[in-house]
Structure 1
Amino acid sequence: MFELDRELAQDIVTRAMAILPYNVNVMDSQGLILASGEPSRIDTRHEGAQLVLSNARVVAIDSQAAACLKGVQPGINLPLFFDRRLIGVLGITGEPEQVRLYGELLRMTAEMLVAQRHQQAERQWRRQRSDDLMALLLEEGGDAPRLLDEARLLGLKPQLMRTPWLFELAGGQSAERLGDWLQGRYPDSWCVSPAAGSLLWCQPGASLDEPAQAQLLERVEAQGWQVLRVAVGELAEGVEGMRHGYRRVRDLLAYGRAILPRQRLLGLARYRLPTLLWHYRDDEAVRELLRPLQRLRARDAGGQLLGTLRCWCEHRGHGQACADALGVHRNSLRYRLERIAELSGVDPLRLDGLLTLYLGLQLLPEA
């Protein structure tokens, strides 16, 4: 239920007295003066206002009548209505015949300001409730029928297919403002800030391809946000799919931060297997993948052999392409690969050895 507050009452008084040569008072539904051009009258009872509240009608008080009432000056007092409910009183000091017209115009303006403030409060409540509801829906067990029904009533469309993006912003950047910007350009977006400097954006519709993802990141940064990195998932259906997608991009972002610190745009389609390995990085079977590389790194002071192995994996074991990328002769490349096999105990020239080393490299931080 909407009630007049001091801030709104003072706004009405300030606007009115910037135009009118008369004092203006605004009283609440109990006749207490909330705002006045005469500050000493604030928080006192206004008997004229109480007469208005008792009868829900305009009360004009001339000089003679004012002398009989406590704390009242000549003027006109008008009821303020919102949604057909009496919420307060507006008073203008002066002889009633002189200020009546001003009073009617001012009441109309004040009731418009009240309606506008109510709409703002309603929008703010809906926005806050929508944010809270989205956060609840993305938590484990957040698909209760009651929450889904409320989401539909608020127009959140939980049934839509969406793609999760998880942004990590530099310190001091406002994730909420970035969410507002994205929601303004992509209707039906969901935006939730799981932590300071972090924004989960559930982009409506199909996933963007890599060039389009890069273009969007450029547009975001052109607006002034400094993005450290962003993880982009795949199209998910409904709330349960979105919840699963959020877990995947959260793992992907953590993987990128630890293993690929220079990579700012991380797509799940490209890093699906490394992200899966990262999720189980504490498992002994996964840690075994790193041991051959740890032996190699201990004897590879300049990092040349590790760099060669990364290049070998990137070119899928194609000798000439790898040698050209490294700028060495194929014989030099073969010598390096033999040295890698000797130091790591795993032969990169064999398919099983190459696969073992490749998987281990996905968990080895880039220098």
Structure 2
Amino acid sequence: MKFFEQIAQSIVEKTSTVLGVSMSITDAKGTIIGCNDLTRIGSHHEVTEEVTKAGRAVIFTKENITGRKNVLPGVATPIRFQRQIIGVLGIIGEPEEVGKYVEFVRTHVEMLLQQSFRTESFYLQMKTTELFIQHLIHFKEWESEDTLQNYCSMSGFHFDCPRMCILIDLSSLHTAKGEEGVLRISQYDLFQVISHYFQVHDEDIISPVHQGQWIVLKYMDGADMKKTRRQCEHALKALRKFFRNQQVGGSVSIAYGKSCSGFAGVSRSYQQALQALSTGKERAKGASGVYAFDDWNILLSALVQDIQPALAETLDDYAEKLVSHSNASALIETFLVYCEQGLNVSRAARKLFVHRNTLLYRLNQLSEILSIDTQSFEQCLLLYMALKKRKDQAMQVHT
């Protein structure tokens, strides 16, 4: 068993230091794979077969080891894993002295083996799941339906029911020294924490996407969207507390797309969650938050960011013409607030703390400069997107 060989020496060193005794561990063939005396590692220990056949602890005194090569006084006992003997633990010393440690150390070693096996199995499964996720979220580019179907057959997952993609972004975490804080916490621990707050159904899939970002493919059959929002907000608070306790600073963000069915649908939900995450983080200026793709503010910001180049150039020309005006700052602020108040002059004036006539004067200036009808929702929407994009870009530069 490869993982047994990998951890045997570590077990010997840690356990013998605590108890103050010398130890050795052999594999099933009798090869010493862990020992305080490093010169013995790799040598054959002939008593392994004897102890394995006995199936219990065997005492070796100075008298009964005379003439036996590479055998020291002490007590040896079988090591079992999944009900099979896989090696032998030897505690070296006077049997009367070290015998009291045998059962405790054997139990400890077997417990460490179980823990190591679970951890190794977890990482193997996680690698497989992560590969599946990469094929899934890039479904359109890779066209890997057969690969996905094979994985689903093996794992028992089904994609004919709606699923929602939830992204957990940890990329902004850092330690007090400025290092990436998430690197100090193992994937195993992160998985346990995230699963605790998101894994409700057996069909829920949790996996890292890449360094600093995790994905939850949440089974949504009959699920309440408001409940999902509350779950994300609760998880966000818990994750922030967890990282603070780990002395890790920075922000945690959670974003989710819409509920969709099928491989292509989940891929679409991922793209929506990714867009919501990007847009939400920009709007929040680095603060933690929960962002939904169907949030109207997120949709508007996403639309502003995704204006096609040809249209963007034309709108930029209008924006540039306005920016070059001597009263540009006041005119732009007035127009943005006017749009955000539903083209309502009275509400916009109150929001800006200006007289209604002042606001009307500025809107008339805008009309003269850009030949825009400030009472037309469609025309105002186009200019709003151009100015909003310019304002967002300026804020990004300053932050």
**TM-score, with structure 1 as normaliser:** 0.78
CA distance, structure 1, for counterparts of residue 205 and residue 388 of structure 2: 32
Write the mapping of 1:1-367 to structure 2, written as runs, cut at 5 A: 1=1, 3-5=3-5, 7-11=7-11, 14-15=14-15, 18=18, 23-49=22-48, 61-93=60-92, 103=102, 107=106, 110-140=109-139, 141=142, 144-151=145-152, 153-154=154-155, 158=159, 159-165=161-167, 167=169, 169-172=171-174, 173-174=181-182, 180-188=192-200, 189-203=204-218, 205=220, 206-208=224-226, 212=230, 217-223=236-242, 224=244, 226-227=250-251, 231-255=255-279, 261=285, 266-269=291-294, 270=296, 271-282=298-309, 284-300=310-326, 303-366=329-392, 367=395
Instruction: Give the whole-Å Cα distance in 1 for the aligned partners of 2:331 and 2:206.
Output: 44
Give deviations 1:323-366, integer Å, cap 9, x for gaps. Answer: 22122222211110011112223222234422322333443334
Assess if the C-alpha contact under 8 Å between 2:205 and 2:218 holds in 1.
yes
Q: Return the offset for 1:104.
A: 6.3
Contact 1:323 1:329 in 2 (8 A): yes
- In the TM superposition, residue 255 of structure 1 has moved relative to its aligned partner by 4.3
Contact 1:166 1:249 in 2 (8 A): no
The answer to whether the Cα contact below 8 Å between 1:130 and 1:151 also exists between their aligned partners in 2 is no
Q: Over residues 227-269 of structure 1, what are the superposed CA-to-partner deviations in whole Å (9 max), with x where a residue is unaligned?
A: 2765443223344222112212333444456678588654422
CA distance in 2, matches of 1:66, 1:194: 57
Moved more, 149-158 or 116-125: 149-158
SS at match of 1:114: helix
User: What's the CA shift for 1:218?
Assistant: 4.8
AA matched with 2:365:
R
Counterpart code for 2:82: D
Distance 1:73 1:13 in 2: 18
CA RMSD after TM alignment: 4.0
The 2-side partners of 1:276 and 1:217 are apart by 26
Deviations 1:4-38 (A, max 9, x none): 2253354257537855x864321123322223344
User: How far does residue 314 in structure 1 lie from its aligned partner after superposition?
Assistant: 0.8
* CA distance 1:215–1:334, change in 2 (3 Å): farther
* SS in structure 1 of the partner of residue 4 of structure 2: coil
* Higher alpha-carbon Rg: 1
Aligned residues: 364
3-state DSSP of counterpart to 1:337: helix
Q: Within 1, Cα distance between the matches of 2:106 and 2:170?
A: 50
Q: Deviations over 1:42-67 (max 9, x none)?
A: 343322235556x5756665545522
Please list every run of 5 or more consecutive structure 2 residues that lacks an aligned counterpart in the other structure: 175-180
Structure 1 residues 323, 272: closer, same or farther in 2, change over 3 A? same
Give the aligned residue type for 2:333.
Answer: G
Q: Distance in 2 between matches of 1:365 and 1:90?
A: 69
Instruction: State how far apart, in whole Å, the 2-side matches of 1:110 and 1:179 are.
Output: 25
Q: 2:164–2:269: 8 Å Cα contact kept in structure 1? A: no
- Structure 1: any 5+ residue segments left out of the alignment? none
Identity of aligned residues (%): 20
Counterparts of 2:191 and 2:50 in 1: how far apart (Å)?
50
**How far apart, CA to CA, are the structure 2 residues paired with 1:15 and 1:3?**
18
- Pairwise CA distance, 1:170: 2.2
Partner SS, residue 5 of structure 1: helix
2:178 counterpart residue number: none
Residues 337 and 349, structure 1, Cα contact 8 Å, conserved in 2: no
8 Å Cα contact 1:260/1:365 also seen in 2: no
Q: Which structure: greater helix fraction?
A: 2
TM-score normalised over the length of structure 2: 0.73
Cα 1:360–1:60, aligned 2, differ >3 Å: closer, same or farther? same
